[in-house]
Amino acid sequence: MTAGPIWAVDSSRPLPDYLIEPWSTTYRLPEETIASMMQSPDGYLWLSTANGVLRLNGLTSTPLSWSVQQPMDRTVRTTVLDGQGTMWILTSRSGVLRVPFAGRGTAMDAVPQRVTTLQTDAIVPLNIAAAQAMPDGVRVVTQAGLYELTSASQPGPPPSPVASLPSVPLAATAGTAGDIWLAGTDRRLWRWTRGTGWQNLAALPPGAPVRMLATAGRLWLRGQGWLARWEKDRWSSWALNTHFEQTNLYEPMLEDRQGVLWLGGRGQIARLVGNEVDSRRLGTIQEETSVTSLHEDREGVIWIGDQVGRLYRLRGAAVINYGQAEGMAGDIVNAIYREPNGDCWIYSLNKGLTRWSLSGIQAFPLGVAGNVWMMERDRRSGDLLLAGIPRLYRLNRGRAEPVDDPLLRSLGRVHAWWQYPDGRGVLLARTNGVFRQDSLTDFDDTRIVSRHHNVRTLAGSPEGLVWGSDGWDLIEWSPGGELIKRPPGLAEGTEVHALYWDVTSRLLWVGTATGMLTWDPASRVWGPLGLAGDSVFAIQRDPQGQLWLGTRNGLVSVDAAAWLKGRREPSARLARADGLRSLNFGMVRTRGSAPLADGRLLFGSMRGLTS
């Protein structure tokens, strides 16, 4: 998890990490095929549909005024903006329409002006129709040829083509460098450029091409169940899965700004990263419904349109999730411990231990049943110790080995501990009190510090102040002795769940079942309670000064400085729509979260680890 949502699609992340949001209901879109999309300089998204052109502004959709009565001439194949801001529209009946530039953008009350019809009584297939913006006009491809129209073009008969086609087209596309590409029935790949004309580049790969896409320096060709790329005068090819075996002329391709190729299929999208093709179902799209358009907006979000007018937004999530499906020992996280080298250990209820690092995940099924609320390395022995039920364990060769604890019967089990940073020993919270000893496993010099029973969570400062809670009171231990304080404003029976010492504000932040408040050890004053509707189980500060809270209603961030000035409100709240697999982060105690060296934070939930 980062300090703020990053919506752009990141090709390094697995497809299940992306969020797919339906937008058709938001925009109340008509049930018409979305053939293509584009974004204008003012940020609007324009949809070419089977019933004209729609403009989306983030909240509503507005249809472009349309005077064409012929139903098939309302079916728009593609839309482009030329260098002057004029919108050019190509319809399925090869009609070319023009909407003039008006101030900051295209005027919605402007009626598209028909410039010409390039061929009569013929439908232009979607996989052949291509339009390319010019500085003051548009270049258009249909079965009849290659045409150019400009702002000086007057309504009337079609102009003569600037170039005839070298072969009957199977598919065509407009390139990014003023070039036009064509796959012909002569089984050849052709490329047109001004001044050179048509060049015969190569034989087509086996199979019937269905769609083409030209990008900087490469040409993508797609058929039924296969994908090919022409680059540096050679073909490369890939097989596609069963959902792409019946590829039709509606199903598009898109190369994003990271060079990743995306494909639309029947109820599916797929991508090519390196030499690997992976795919993902679009939850509510039926398998027989084709994805018909793909578009990457300027923020890096990918928009998906389908055959029946549904619109989806594929975006990066604010979080990355890890769970049993990604190789962890289990999903329900009890405790997290970060090693000095940045690796983290995660304990999953009844399932075992996971070592998590940026290089991979390794699971250890420990064979220990129940909860483990605390993990840390003993600074003297270097052993990784786990405070479990019913006893203390050490990790030995990937297995949980019971620690010989001669005080277990008389003092009860270990719930939590705090190792003093200066090496002055450790505080152990046991069932029957809080005790001090030289190291976590040195029981010969155990000395009682407090008879407060069932202290379940501990936190400390670098200066040696330590706080604990039995769920009801806050107990502070200092060189001056023991101080017991009940957090104010809490109803009877309201529990304290989390303690976090913040070195920046010099305050102890206290998470409870009904919100969060602060304790100032210098003045011994409580701050007001905030976030009364949230049960706070884990607290961490990010590098931007935000405090992130693990609650039973998702992840919440607050601006620490604003909180202390009286604005005790969330600055962000992450839920399932932001990628969380679970909203419940309440199966943790002392070690429910951890910071990473790169500024990210880890939180444990009921469905794994959230970063």
Question: Residue 28: which residues within 8 A CB-CB, separation 6 or more?
Answer: 60, 61
Whether 400 shows a pLDDT value over 70: the answer reads yes
Greatest alpha-carbon span in the chain: 101
Q: Are strands 572-574 and 113-117 parallel, antiparallel or unpaired?
A: unpaired
183, pLDDT greater than 90 = yes
Tokens of residue 165, six digits:
């086609």
DSSP H/E element including 76:
strand 76-81
Burial class from Cβ neighbours inside 10 Å (0-12, 13-18, 19+) for residue 339 reads: middle
Q: Distance between alpha carbon 510 and the CA centroid of its chain, in Å?
A: 30
pLDDT for residue 282? 74
Q: Determine the Cα–Cα distance for residues 374 and 434; give it in Å rounded to an integer.
A: 15
pLDDT value, residue 150: 93
Mean pLDDT in residue range 570-579: 83
Least confident of 257-266, 364-373, 481-490: 364-373
Tell how strand 180-184 and strand 188-193 pair up.
Answer: antiparallel
104 versus 41: the higher-pLDDT residue is 41
pLDDT of residue 214: 96
- pLDDT per position as a tens digit, 409-433: 999 999 999 999 877 899 999 999 9
Q: Which of 12-26, 67-81, 554-568 is the most confident on average? A: 554-568
Spell out the residues 6+ positions from residue 351 whose beta carbon is closer than 8 angstroms to its own: 324, 329, 330, 331, 332, 365
Is the CB of residue 591 less than 8 Å from the CB of residue 337? yes
Q: What confidence tens digit (pLDDT) does each residue in 114-165 have?
A: 899 998 778 999 999 999 999 999 999 999 999 999 999 999 999 999 999 9
Q: How many CB atoms lie within 10 A of CB 597?
A: 10
Q: Is the pLDDT of residue 199 over 60?
A: yes
- Residue 270 has a CB neighbour count (10 Å cut-off) of 22
Helical spans, DSSP H, in 441-591:
560-564
**Euclidean distance between CA atoms 291 and 308, whole angstroms:** 9
pLDDT class for 361, splitting at 50, 70, 90? confident
Mean pLDDT to the nearest integer, 386-412: 89
Q: What global pTM score does this model have?
A: 0.61
594: exposed, middle or buried (Cβ count in 10 Å: 0-12, 13-18, 19+): buried
For the cut 80, the answer to whether the pLDDT of residue 471 exceeds it is: yes
Q: Residue 407 above 70 pLDDT?
A: yes
Asked if the model's pLDDT at residue 319 lies above 70, the reply is: yes
Helix (H, G, I), strand (E, B) or coil at 355: strand
